[in-house]
Amino acid sequence: MIAARIPPIVFHGTSHAFDRFDPRQLGRSVRNPTTEFGFFFSEDAEDAAYWARRAARYGRSGGAPRLITAEVRVDAPVLISAPKFRFYLQRARVSTIQRDLRAWRDAGHDGLTTVRDGVRWWAPFDADAIRFLDSRPLDPPPAEETPQEDPSGPAP
């Protein structure tokens, strides 16, 4: 167990309009096996907005970027180091992620947390631990600020 504490409000970037987190929709926006862990949330609104714009540009839906605010409950998170999370993002197979997720659940963890690019992310393992608060559309990034590579990770 770790001492990290989830803030009262967290942010999720997406290219879909919705009003609740449905586990059947995991992986709909991005093609990355880390969606097996759950919905990712950032402690930083600008970080989540960045990922929303990437999902809108490169994701499967072609929808407009949106920023969702939520309350998330994670009482016993497992801490994933930055190098380990990078492994999950770039090289891990779905079977590896599913195996680790089972082991963490069996050990009593109800979510994960990691730090990516200086920002803490949270992912509860159960969508019932997420309380949807608000969703607002975002402007797309100017053309010169739009990254040209394919995203490597889930949108928080």
* Tokens coding 14: 């997406």
**CB atoms near residue 73 (< 10 Å):** 14
User: How many distinct helices (H) and strands (E) make up the chain?
Assistant: 3, 7
User: Tell me: the pLDDT tens digits for 4-48?
Assistant: 678 889 999 998 889 999 998 887 767 788 988 999 999 999 999
Cβ atoms within 10 Å, residue 12 = 25
Sorted by sequence, the CB contacts under 8 Å of residue 29 that are 6+ apart come out as 14, 15, 16, 55, 59, 60, 61, 155
Tokens of 41: 């949330």
Render pLDDT for 77-98 as a digit per residue (tens, 0 to 9).
999 999 999 999 999 999 999 9
User: What whole-number percentage of the chain has pLDDT above 70?
Assistant: 85
Q: Tokens 């928080």 correspond to what residue?
A: 156
